[in-house]
Amino acid sequence: MPLDLVKKVLCVLVQNGVCVFNHRGPGRPTNYQANSNKILRILRYPRYIYTAKTLYGDTGELIIEELLQRGEMTMSRTVKTVADRLTQNMEDGQCMDYSEVSSAFCKLVETHFLQRCPPVAGPGKADSAAPATPATQAGASAPTPESFPDCYRVPQVTIRGQGKRRLSSEDVDQTIAKKAKMDPETHGDEGIYWQVNFERFHLHFRDQAIISAVANKLDQTSSEIVRTMLRMSEVTTSPAASCTKPLSANEIFRSLPSTYNIARPILDQYLTLLVDDPMEFVGRAGESGGGMFVVNLHKVLANLARATLESIVQERFGSRSARIFRLLLRKRHLEQKQVEDFAMVPAKEAKDMLYMLLSQNLVQLQEIPKTPDFAPSRTFYLYTCNQLPTARMLLQNCYKTVANLIERRLFESKESKRLLEKSQRIEAILASLQASGAEPEQLTEVEEMITAPEKQQLDSLRLHINKLDSAENQVDDTIFILESYISATATS
């Protein structure tokens, strides 16, 4: 590979945060290292974009999409690009104003979904100011408000106007790059770049998983109470905290949505129900103000991870194996005879199921000798299950599953490459004819270029690929639960 091309590739990787570098001093080569965490986050890009669309509409969706595609951008460039894209999809005579996009951008920064890229000094310029880039030195932690005071401060940007339409034949990336080079206009944010704050999205996903678990276990009203508690404490609670800041029952009652007309005694009953539930969604932290309550974040994540492990075992090995696995998670250490009695499973079946789980490393066998010689007749053989190592092992299996799904999708696309290219060409011709006001007969003639068997094959291929994409998203949900639990265990 030519040296110039290697440099360009490294620039793109550094700009997208999937590669970090380390300056070792003047005259010494710079080390580059792949950032595996950022690479794995690519799997979750559709979820980030969909969340932004849900919270902030089409404008928020396109802002997040542009920043994910390009790694880092200035606010003014992002606003112009998004406004142009929104204008392109509007009816003739309508345009998206830059101020509306700027407002959505500021809201994303206020809620910490976007953050500034930290400034990184160039080689030999450790003490001088350098333009912000998304790269961090190898081994350095990700930028946080604590380490970078201006991480969430929006600069004064002067940008006025409306989005502009482009010709259908223009290449968007080339147009944007050309404008960036030729446009001499300044907006006051030169050198200030922004990136997506993945950790903030993950906190939102965690809260949504907790709310969904409460709704499934209890009811919608209970989930709305927990949602209110999480919303009230999202600013005051540290991302690594094991529980939210204590909230009084009076504060929770005043902050409930007006659509939920709940009397104060009913709220107290719901809070008591949440505290007494075995899942330990909510804990009691005091008695002042009608009672102080917290959401047990780490305990809920541990219970969600346990439910995920039990579900995986049940799907792979059946309900009786899941019963034994659940029993070992709760009792920790049991002999084979105890497993048979507690699980109410015949001895032969219990033995087969235990050996099957043991062969898959889902349970472990611990030997406790009565004497130093480890004689089998004088040794206790206890089956046990440790949730954390099991979660780590299943997390690796989930990543292998995602890799297999991606390989299968690529194989399916490669096998039908000619048909897909033909379909894309015909769709482009149809779009061009419709834009030029062609007659229906012409459109029908172009559509008939694809035969009935080819249409059937295309429909089958798209259905198959959609199933693979859906499976990939579902596996990513499991990955997120297991990763959150492992991370919470490491910080507690």
Is 420 within the bounds of a domain? yes
Calculate mean pLDDT across residues 348-370: 87
CATH of the domain at 258: 1.10.10.10
Q: Quick one: 470 and 355 in the same domain?
A: no
Tell me, yes or no, whether 408 and 483 share the same domain: yes
pLDDT at 395: 93
pLDDT band at residue 305, thresholds of 50, 70 and 90?
Answer: very high
Taking each helix axis from N to C end, the angle separating 75-88 and 45-70, rounded to the nearest 10 degrees, works out to 120
Q: How many folded domains does the chain comprise?
A: 4
Min mean pLDDT across 252-266, 313-327, 393-407 is at: 252-266
Give pLDDT, residue 482: 93
Name 22's bridge partners.
31
**Exposed e or buried b per residue across 300-326, where buried means at least 16 C-beta atoms within 10 angstroms of its C-beta:** bbbbbbbbbbeebbbeebeebbbbbbb
Query: How high is the pLDDT of residue 471?
Result: 92
Together in a domain, 380 and 394? no
Task: Judge whether residue 176 has pLDDT over 70.
Answer: no
Q: What is the pLDDT of residues 56-107, one digit of tens each?
A: 988 999 999 999 998 888 888 888 888 888 888 777 667 878 888 888 988 9
Q: Quick check: 354 and 363 in contact, CB under 8 A?
A: yes
Average pLDDT over residues 253-260: 82
Please give the structure tokens belonging to residue 113. 């979904």
Angle between helices 336-343 and 347-359 (to 10 degrees): 110
Among 359, 385, 411, identify where a domain stops: 385
Give a yes or no: residue 428 inside a domain: yes
Residue 395 and residue 428 in one domain: yes
If asked whether residues 67 and 155 sit together in one domain, one would say: yes
417 located within any domain: yes
Q: What is the predicted pLDDT for the residue at 184?
A: 56
Owning domain of residue 211: 200-295
More confident residue, 228 or 128: 228
pLDDT at position 401: 94
For the chain, the average pLDDT equals: 82
- Average pLDDT value for residue range 353-381: 83
Do 258 and 331 belong to one domain? no
| Same domain, yes or no: 481 and 364 | no
Position 442 pLDDT exceeds 70: yes
* 3 state SS of 384: strand
Both 210 and 114 in one domain: the answer is no
What confidence tier does 174 reach under pLDDT thresholds 50, 70, 90? low
Q: Is residue 13 part of a domain?
A: no
Residue-level pLDDT at 20: 84
Position 187 scores a pLDDT of 67
Residue 322 in this model has a pLDDT that exceeds 80: yes
What H or E segment, with its residue span, contains residue 248? strand 247-248
Distances (CA, A) of 354 to 325, 391, 401: 9, 18, 25
Residue 356 lies in a domain: yes
Residue 478 forms part of a structural domain: yes
**Confidence (pLDDT) at 439:** 78
Domain end, chosen from 332, 359, 385, is at 385
DSSP string, 416-459: THHHHHHHHHHHHHHHHHHHTT--HHHHHHHHTTS-HHHHHHHH
Residue 243 CA to residue 233 CA, distance in Å, equals 10
Report how far residue 332's alpha carbon sits from residue 329's, in angstroms, rounded to the nearest whole number.
Answer: 5
C-beta of residue 446 within 8 angstroms of C-beta of residue 433: yes
Express each pLDDT in 13-64 by its tens digit.
888 888 888 877 777 888 888 888 888 888 899 999 999 999 998 899 999 9
pLDDT tens per residue across span 207-217: 999 999 989 88
Q: Mind listing the pLDDT tens digit for each residue in 125-173? A: 444 334 444 444 444 444 454 467 777 788 777 777 766 766 554 455 5
From 385, 419, 435, give the residue that closes a domain.
Answer: 385
Do 436 and 466 sit in the same domain of this protein? yes
In a domain, 169, yes or no: no
Between strands 19-22 and 31-34, the pairing is antiparallel
Name the DSSP letter for residue 180: H
- If asked whether residues 353 and 410 sit together in one domain, one would say no
Secondary structure class of 24 (helix, strand, coil): coil
Percent of the chain with pLDDT over 70: 88
* Res. 123: pLDDT tops 70: no
Residues 251, 278, single domain; the answer is yes
- Asked if residues 357 and 313 have their Cβ atoms less than 8 Å apart, the reply is yes
pLDDT band at 179 (very low <50, low <70, confident <90, very high): low
The answer on 374 and 254 residing in a single domain is: no
Instruction: Pick 376 or 482 by higher pLDDT.
Output: 482
Question: What is the structure's pLDDT at 132?
Answer: 45
Query: Does some domain include residue 348?
Result: yes
pLDDT tier for residue 122 given thresholds of 50, 70 and 90:
low
Confidence class for position 480, pLDDT limits 50, 70, 90: very high
Claim: this prediction has a pTM higher than 0.75: yes
Q: Is the pLDDT of residue 360 over 50?
A: yes
